[in-house]
């Protein structure tokens, strides 16, 4: 699942920012388009991402976790800099 998430997030880079009224519908349509392209590359990825509503939320949660970890790391480097950070 982690590898599939990485591939999907890479293919959908820049598409998660839209938070308008139809953001879920927009993301689902984009995911379907990406999945159709991935079908040519891998049947496993295509099957993995075919449930667009569920997959959108899985991708969003994965991105949220990554940004939280990045924020923690950046805060730690800011609060406790090493010689290499200075």
Q: For the whole prediction, is pTM greater than 0.75?
A: no
Residue 84: which pLDDT band, with cuts at 50, 70 and 90?
Answer: confident
**Pure H helices in 1-86:** 2-11, 23-41, 43-49, 52-79
pLDDT in tens, 2-58: 777 888 888 888 877 767 778 888 888 888 888 888 778 777 777 777 776 777 888
Please list, residue by residue across 15-25, b when 16 or more beta carbons sit within 10 angstroms of its beta carbon and e when fewer do: beeeeeeeebe
Question: Once rounded to an integer, what is the mean pLDDT over residues 71-76?
Answer: 92
């Amino acid at each position: 699942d982690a590898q599939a998430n990485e591939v999907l997030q890479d293919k959908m880079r820049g598409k998660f920012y839209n938070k308008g009224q139809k953001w879920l519908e927009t993301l689902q349509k984009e995911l379907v388009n990406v999945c159709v392209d991935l079908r040519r590359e891998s049947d496993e990825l295509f099957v993995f991402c075919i449930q667009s509503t569920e997959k959108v939320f899985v991708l969003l949660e994965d991105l949220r976790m990554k940004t939280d970890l990045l924020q923690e790391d950046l805060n730690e480097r800011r609060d406790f800099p090493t010689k290499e950070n200075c």
